[in-house]
Structure 1
Amino acid sequence: MIYPQNFEQKIGFDSIRHLLKGKCLSTLGEERVDEMAFSEKYEEINERLEQVMEFIRIIQEEDEFPDQYFFDVRPSLKRIRIEGMYLDEQELFDLRRSLETIRDIVRFLTRTTEDEEMEESTSPYPALKRLAGDIIVFPQLITRINNILDKFGKIKDNASSELLRIRRELTSTTGSISRSLNAILRNAQSEGYVDKDVTPTMRDGRLVIPVAPGLKRKIKGIVHDESSTGKTVFIEPAEVVEANNRIRELEGEERREIIRILTDFSITVRPQVPAILQSYEFLAEIDFIRAKAQFAIQTNAIKPSLENKQVLDWRTAIHPLLQLSLAKHNKKVVPLDIELNYKQRILIISGPNAGGKSVCLKTVGLLQYMVQCGMPVPMHERSHIGIFSNIFIDIGDEQSIEDDLSTYSSHLTNMKIMMKSCNERSLILIDEFGGGTEPQIGGAIAEAVLKRFNEKGTFGVITTHYQNLKHFAEDHEGVVNGAMLYDRHLMQALFQLQIGNPGSSFAVEIARKIGLPEEVIEEASEIVGSEYINADKYLQDIVRDKRYWETKRQNIRKREKQMEETISKYETEIQELEKSRKEILRKAKEDAERLLQESNARIENTIRTIKEAQAEKEKTRLARQELSDFKETIEDIEKADKEDKIARKMEKLREKQERKKDKKNKEYSQAATTTQPNMPKVQPIEVGTSVKLKGQSSIGEVLEINGKNATVMFGMIKTTVKIDRLERSNISPSAAQKSTAKSTFVSSETQDRVYEKKLNFKQDIDVRGMRGDEAIQAVTYFIDDAILLGMSRVRILHGTGTGILRTLIRNYLSTVSGIAHYQDEHVQFGGAGITVVDLE
């Protein structure tokens, strides 16, 4: 139950509806926005919210969702239920595109992905998949429309054999008229009856010649029209009158044939209209969900934790309309934190006027209502939101001249209905509770009503200035005080709700800020008494001190969190450093052990190398000295008793070994040159030499040598490279070029053919109506092409009929080695009338 009737207007939900309509793609979704209603069913609300949240992910993450053609053709479909009525071309075009959109949406939402953890196929959008589960998509109907309309929505010439004949005769007759007119026009121009730049034109659907009025008798024919100035008349020559008449007849025949085609189609569609209308209800729902998702993205709304009980535990909740309004002025809304549970069900909010009490009240009402209408709301994801069966609101001036009700009488009427109808599953929202009459009796009645609300276990948010209601909240369980904070020094509202203490009205401070005479303020203070003034002052001090210590506490928590994060960071870094240190030391030890094990083998290899190279005594001495140094280094490593010394020794050893290796290679190279003078020399690279880059196959010719660089011609490219990167080749560049060109020519031609075939290849083939041998031959060529072009999936449309064609095709498919699997299409997309083939 929602009370009163203008509840949506009071909380601003009518504006939400207006914004949602602006985000719909068609009247389909707009109707759904009008039909959107409050629900108290947990499963229904949760499912609606899940649908919207999944669509938010589609908008943010998917690029291929089909939302192009949301056309409402329901009025046209309902019209053709009457015998003799038919869909015109535009309606048929809209029907085709919207049916294709429904089909594509169903395919998109029912697709599955492999879940590695669950080891099964799952849908990325389960709630939307459930919505699309039973929707029929009419593939045969789309195919039938495609046989009638071209891609631009016009009737095809071959929509029927009769239409094809008519249009061919129309084209032929029009061509003959054009030729005759041009001949007559050229003759008239040569005689001077008509200007040289005149061309035939169309008047009343007939081709005519523009002629000056004074020369109209020079051309035999019928005058059809004249220009607005009277300086030109339009004559249909007698020679083309009959042909023009024939064109009129053919155009009439064309219109009648088109109407016949559309009527026949409408007769076919008429039995399916109820099912088609059901599919459009699905399209309307998708448009509606999409609009809610777009609005949620605009307002940063989420789905809070929904609970099937009565609770409000909101963090940083924001009024969406206020958010959008302030954003235009680059301002931000102060978020609302509020908590209502079974221990504190009713919140009494007090504070100064214009401090945000009414905004707080409307925010609670609007967000709760939005959630129970299936809309995400702008608040923190840690928020919890419950479900209420009834929401009552009493806000604003309800004075009624017609019913002879004053403002206070109207408020009392609302209180009477609330007390009668509310229960533990109700949420009441009352602004300026008890206002509109004499304060003492008004406050007393308000306290008595509040007591009834509390006894019934009702949840609520109530704003007031009455002191007795603040005291009631302090003394009774289930009711809690709250204050809208106010900066006493800056004399401005902070628009922040603080639960736990009542708020001051700051009446004296505001009066002093406005400039009311001080003696007036003092006299007013004396009237109410020092006790009231002091109590109000103490209340302000309490609120001020609470804000101060709350700020301190938050700062301490923030510092503690930063400290914990810093400590955690340093501990992690220390662990990583220790791990790295141990790894480095482990590798150093392994290297040392390996060097120790290989030392003897290296000594023996060095001696054998010296003997084989027949080196001089000096070189032998140097080699032995090197081995001696190596041995001393190894012994130092063995004696090292600390891990860091091992690492340093190993690093020095590596550097020393590199230097020794370079020196040894140089000496051995000199020794080899001295002791082996008879070894064949490598032929140098000269101008004209055939060469190739080391490790490459391209052959080039040296054009010029400049020091260590050579200029080489590789085919048509001249480049400069280092000589040491080149090696001689036994093949000349011309021979290599011919060989390459020959092989490339064949490959390029084949590649072009395959590419062209792949561009024109269609993954569906229609063999309905063919004889068995014709169908098998067509399918054979089709499957061969699909395998050649690397297709993963194709579809064969053979129809159901007697099933003979389906059996023949599947018998053939079972013999093809390149086919991994084949099966019936999904029942929504054609069922047994289509075979889906998966290729290896």
Structure 2
Amino acid sequence: MLYPDNSADKLGFTEVKELIKAHCLSTMGQQMVDKIQVMNNFDLIKKFLSQAHEFKNILQNDAALPINHFFDIKALANKIRLEGAFLAEEEFFQILASLTTVFAVIGYFNEREGQYPNLEALFEHLPIEKSILKKIDMVIDQKGKIRPNASRELQDITSGISKAEQEARKKIDQIFKSAASNGWTADGSLTIRDGRLCIPLLAENKRKVKGFIHDESSTGQTVYLEPEEVFTLNNRIRDLEFERRREIIKILTQLTDELRPYVPLLLSYHGLLTKLDFVRAKALFALDVEGEMPVVVNEARVRLTNARHPLLFLSFKKEHKTVVPLNVSIDEGTRIITVSGPNAGGKSVCMKTLGLLQMMVQAGLLIPADESSTVGVFRQMFVDIGDDQSIESDLSTYSAHLSKMKHFVEMANGKTLILIDEFGTGTDPQFGGPIAEAVLESLNHKKVRGMVTTHYSNLKIFSSNTEGIENASMLFDNQQMKPLYQLEVGKPGSSYAFEIAQKIGLPPQVLNLAKNKISAGQKKVDTLLVDLEREKKEIYDTRIQLNRQQKRVDDLLSENEKLKNYLEENQKALIRDAKQQAKEIITNANKLVENTISEIKSSQADKETTRNLRENLSKELQKNTVKVETTAKPSSDEEELKVGDWVKLVDSTTTGQIIEIAKDNIIIAIGDLRTVAKRKRVQKVSRKEVPKEIRRAGTSASSTSDMASFSPEIDVRGMRGEDAIHTIEKLLDRAIMMSFGSLKIIHGKGDGILRKLIRGYFKKYDQISHMEDEHADRGGDGITYIYLK
């Protein structure tokens, strides 16, 4: 599958396994990580990837799995197999703790039946045998010690020991007090010597108390004596302790015999714990490197989108730097990619990223690339990276390369992925180039997939003229003379040998001498490549700028459309209100006229009464007449109007505040309403001329509208770090403008990565007073409160 044997070391796969091992809770899980291999069984690959993906979802979005204890049940089960053997108290406690974890995990997934099918398959048809727990629990307590009432005999023995100890203590206290009252004792209290409780006596009084001397002080003035009466009791206690030990062994042996039929089941539980620890470690590593599950196909092709080298990603993460993502595709049309470009431009890292991510996927590991990436399955992976010269095998650098090329040409096929770094180097370029070209042509005929890096011009030309092989280059900023670490497929790249030498400071005469020594054709090709790359860079920058401008235009058009709809809706509301008011005025006027006529007719009023009635009618008419001020001068084009100014419509007394100016149109806020007027139809007025109630209404209308639509709570679970920060920043800006006191950020628990990122980032804001967790009953450290000054 892998050739040579050290390919995993060359690509960094061994280092990835060590990082995964660091996340394991048990030695069993670590041993399983050591056994990770690159597979070519499509179904197994997809199953292992799905398991890691589901566990990652649990860590990010679900309650924590109840995984508390991992012990090596397999070793204990093998010990139980042996007739006559018995487990110690601590070993039974390990089984008890491990089985409690197993049953809790099975219960966790049973509550979420169907949600994590690939993880559920780990314990499919595995019974929950709680009788094992009951048997152990009757003998072993929660501290891992044997219960005093594990048997009737043990209970009697334990009780006898307790009584004998109390009697012995009581007796020696009496003797000690009597000796002390007679002045026979030395300074001090009862003490332990040789495991026996003794009385400190002055040496000259040692014959006055019958007993056994166990020790004396360094000066010989004090002896430590065990009274004769107590000696008999202590021997009785010692005998009882031996009986207790024999009874404990008997109980443990009996319990071991009871568990012997369950050995196969215990081994199954051990397998589940080991697999859970293993999958958990893979999921935690995926979180570290922002790994995702790509689309897996049973074909010899690969398409990586925004892929990053996991080891480089972790290294840069510590330094707060970002890795330039890789986008590459290898399929039936583009089988081999020939990458060229300057030294230290990222060619080898690009190739190692492709190889390492392919190995990770075929080993069932999530990779740091977009989930839209497609990764196939290769039967073989051949790698030629670095210097493999060997003194023992009498191989030079080039001989070692040729030895690998021989194996590649003989053994490779259409389902082989080859990775060759610095193709053809190690010998005279005049001969190494043609040999490399011949090897590449042979591999291409076999429909091999892969990537090679080179500086040889003949390989660049061959790749551009051969079907199935595509040139690619690592972009280089030839103005600032620094690599961009971006892979550009479709054209070869220059080595920038002279440009880099010039930047380093090689003397001009040496550079000119070197330029004169290369052929005119080669010089022309290299110059053309440099010019092409410069033009490509300019086009790329221009395209980015155009995309930004287009996005700005699209945003403005969308905003304009929303404003238009809003104005149309307000216009309809104004017309509707005006019609309603007109209807009410007409109705009231009709009633007034009818009442006036009725009074004139009924009272046969004289001229004076009629005149009074007509005056009342005229007054009501004036109340509903709009005054037109002909003295007001329209606002001239030269008069400067800006957002926030107070204006009055020239044909009415209506006053409002400008909220937006669009060419000749002015959008005015009149209380809770909005209207559009031509510039020439408004007149600027001072703030003092505006009634207080209108100023308050105008101010509160906009702020109330904004306040009503504003929510101080946001949920960023499932977002990428950068997107979450950007979203919270916008919310924080609005909160500061509206003088909100606090914000509630829901980011979930998981491993706390998103929480640390958010809190670390917003510590720099002076407007933030402090941050704290939600109450444990309402989300705990899955929710952060941001308090503003």
What range describes the TM-score normalised by the shorter chain of this pair?
0.7 to 0.9
CA contact (8 A) 1:596 1:634 kept: no
Aligned residues: 616
Q: Which residue in 1 is equivalent to 2:452?
A: 462
Q: Which residue number corresponds to residue 678 of structure 1?
A: none
What is residue 634 of structure 2 aligned with on the other side? none
Q: Distance in 2 between matches of 1:158 and 1:634?
A: 101
Residues 595 and 634, structure 1, Cα contact 8 Å, conserved in 2: no
1:186 aligns with 2:177: yes
Could you tell me which residue of structure 2 aligns to residue 43 of structure 1? 43
Mapped partners of 1:160, 1:434: distance in 2: 80
Q: Paired residue for 1:447? A: 437
Structure 1 counterpart of 2:179, which letter? A
Identical counterparts, % of pairs = 41
**Residue 494 of structure 2: aligned partner:** 504
**Secondary structure of 1:269's partner?**
helix
Query: Structure 1 residues 140 and 406 mapped into 2: Cα distance closer, same or farther (>3 Å)?
Result: same
- 1:383-782 aligned within 5 A: 383-579=373-569, 582=572
* Structure 1 position 124 matched with structure 2 position 115: yes
Alignment of 1:192-211 (within 5 A): 192-195=183-186, 197-198=188-189, 200-211=190-201
Give per-residue Cα distances to partners, 1:380-414, cap 9 Å, x unaligned. Answer: 23322222221110011111112211111111111
Q: 2:303 aligns with which of 287, 302, 313?
A: 313
- Say whether the 8 Å CA contact 1:210–1:233 is kept in structure 2: yes
Aligned-partner SS, 2:277: helix
After TM superposition, the structure 1 stretch with the greater mean CA deviation from structure 2, 565-574 or 178-187, is 565-574
Q: Which residue of 2 aligns with 1:270?
A: 260
Q: Say yes or no: does 1:80 pair with 2:80.
A: yes
Match of 2:141 among 136, 143, 150: 150
**Structure 2 residue aligned with 1:280:** 270
CA deviations over 1:251-309 (Å, ceiling 9, x no partner): 11111111111111111111211221111111111101111111111111111222332
The residue aligned with 1:164 is 155
Partner of 2:21: 21
CA distance 1:464–1:214, change in 2 (3 Å):
farther
What do residues 4-59 of structure 1 show as CA deviations (whole Å, max 9, x unaligned)? 11111111111111111111001121111011121222322222222112212222
Q: Which moved more, 1:311-320 or 1:278-287?
A: 311-320
Give distance in 1, aligned partners of 2:586 and 2:150: 91
Distance between the aligned counterparts of 2:619 and 2:382, measured in 1? Answer: 94
On the 8 A contact 1:470/1:502 being kept in 2, the answer is yes
- Secondary structure (helix, strand or coil) at the match of 1:310 reads coil
Which whole-Å CA distance do the structure 1 matches of 2:502 and 2:270 have between them? 65
> Which residue does the alignment assign to 1:95?
95
Query: 1:556–1:180: structure 2 CA closer, same or farther, 3 Å change rule?
Result: same
Aligned counterpart, 2:66: 66
Taking only aligned residues, the RMSD between alpha carbons, in angstroms, comes to 3.2
TM-score by length of 2: 0.73
What amino acid is the match of 1:513? K
Question: Does 2:35 match 1:8?
Answer: no
* TM-score, length-scaled by structure 1: 0.68
Counterpart of 2:666 in structure 1 is none
1:302 and 2:292 matched: yes
Pick from 333, 341, 344: which aligns with 1:343?
333
Q: Does the CA-based 8 Å contact 1:137-1:279 persist in structure 2?
A: no
Are the aligned partners of 2:414 and 2:447 in contact in 1 as well (CA < 8 Å)? yes
Does the aligned pair in 2 maintain the 1:110–1:133 contact within 8 Å?
Answer: no
Deviations 1:665-689 (A, max 9, x none): xxxxxxxxxxxxxxxxxxxxxxxxx
For 1:323 and 1:55, the matched residues in 2 are separated by 22
Q: Structure 1, residues 514-555: CA drift from partner, whole Å, max 9, x if none?
A: 333323322222221222122211111101110110111122
Q: Cα–Cα, structure 1 residues 233 and 552, in superposed 2: closer, same or farther, change >3 Å?
A: farther
3-state SS in 2 of match to 1:80: helix
Partner Cα separation in structure 1 for residue 71 and residue 617 of structure 2? 93
Q: Residue 227 of structure 2 corresponds to which residue in structure 1?
A: 237
Structure 2 vs 1, CA of residues 388 and 235 (structure 1 numbering), >3 Å: closer, same or farther? same
Asked if the contact 2:302–2:330 (Cα under 8 Å) also holds between the matched residues in 1, the reply is yes
| 1:471 positional shift | 0.3
C-alpha change, 1:407 and 1:229, in structure 2 (3 Å) is: farther
Match of 2:735 in 1: none
**Contact 2:351-2:419 at 8 Å conserved across structures:** yes
SS of the residue aligned with 2:81? coil
Report the Cα distance in structure 2 between the residues aligned to 1:592 and 1:395, rounded to whole angstroms.
Answer: 88
The structural deviation recorded for 1:212 is 4.1
Extract unaligned runs of 5+ from structure 1: 113-121, 603-623, 638-643, 653-840
Residue identity matched to 1:20: I
Bigger relative CO (Cα 8 Å, ≥ 6 apart): 2
Does the 8 A contact of 1:423 with 1:456 survive in 2? yes
SS at match of 1:447: helix
1:355-374 alignment to 2 at 5 Å? 355-374=345-364
- Distance in 1 between residues matched to 2:194 and 2:617, nearest whole Å: 116
Residues 416 and 596 of structure 1: CA distance in aligned 2, closer, same or farther (over 3 Å): farther
Check the 8 A contact 2:184/2:205 in 1, yes or no.
yes
Answer whether contact 2:398 2:426 (CA < 8 A) is retained.
yes
SS at match of 1:9: helix
Q: Residues of 2 paired with 1:291 and 1:428: CA distance?
A: 30
The residue identity in structure 2 corresponding to 1:25 is: L
Counterpart of 1:292? 282
